[in-house]
Amino acid sequence: MRSSLFLALALAVGGGAALVDAANAQTAREVRRQAEASMTLSGVIDIGREGQVEGFQLDHREKVDASVAGFVDKAVQGWRFEPTLIDGKAVPARTSVRLRLIADNMEAGSMQVRVADARFGKLSDSKGPSTDDVTGARMRAPVYPPQAASIRGQGTVLLLVRVGRDGKVADVIAEQTNLTVVGPERTMNQLRDVLAKASVRNARDWTFNPPTTGEDKDRDFWTVRVPVNYFFDKQSERYGRWAAYIPGPRQRAPWKTGEESLVAGTDLLPEGGVYMVGRAQEGPRLLTPLG
């Protein structure tokens, strides 16, 4: 895994070559100090009556390095869930899962891989989005800003959106902008600003479907996170690959979101999703700490 992580970082540096000149290029040590690497995978877990993992199927295993797949298998097999009860009786269950791996300690050259986040699907056969959640109604993707595209500037903007009861956007901020290119600090800050402003400007025209059921349906407003990606390759092409990136600063929303503090591990939510803030995750409850 170590070699593939270094390759991911090298690709990130190489991808930012258009931003770097000989006089202002950051050193490899400076880049490693800022950079992180992540990988998002998915699969299906079979849970026994006592909450033990009885089976795990990793999606598209052929696209994942064998050492990474083995690490994930071992981690998931050691998990334990709260038993699933139907009419007071424990029953077997099956759930989908999305895993986010993080590589830490990159500067020291002995990177440690851990499961940083796990999101589970519902323990049911219901189809379609839940009416307990805010869902997207009309969410046109933003146009790639010409200033960023001309230098092949790539990254992800994580938006916090305040959704009113009419489904329209009452307010929106760029909570964080992560880049997969490297350059002088001033240039990177300018690129973050360009991507963030394009995302916020576009998001103001979005509309959503407010929840019509559940304990949150009567709120005055809802806050959702929406990741907006600016990449030249497709999501399917990135599956099973380490993605090196330079995290940007985080900012809080000027309104109350239902979170007492900034939540770690939200910078690379699966693209194309709308994620309610301050709402408990549905699906099985994992008892084993991640890490």
Mean pLDDT of successive 10-residue stretches along the chain, which has 291 residues: 49 45 48 72 95 96 93 96 93 92 66 84 58 92 92 91 97 94 82 96 97 91 94 75 85 87 60 79 86 70
Domain boundary among 56, 85, 120: 120
- The whole-number pLDDT of residue 242 equals 83
- Within a domain: residue 76? yes
Q: Check whether residue 34 and residue 156 sit in a common domain.
A: no
Domain tally, the chain: 2
pTM for the model stands at 0.75
Q: Check whether residue 106 and residue 139 sit in a common domain.
A: no
Nearest residue to 270 via CA among 40, 102, 76:
40
- The whole-number pLDDT of residue 22 equals 41
- Within a domain: residue 15? yes
- The whole-number pLDDT of residue 53 equals 97
- Within a domain: residue 287? no
Q: Check whether residue 13 and residue 86 sit in a common domain.
A: yes
Question: 207-234 as b/e, with b when 16 or more CB fall inside 10 Å?
Answer: ebbbbeeeebeeeebbbbbbbbbbeeee
- Within a domain: residue 285? no
Q: Check whether residue 111 and residue 141 sit in a common domain.
A: no
- The whole-number pLDDT of residue 261 equals 62
- Within a domain: residue 130? no
- Within a domain: residue 160? yes
User: What is the residue range of 266's domain?
Assistant: 135-238+247-276
d(CA 227, CA 141): 11
- Within a domain: residue 183? yes
Domain boundary among 87, 120, 153: 120
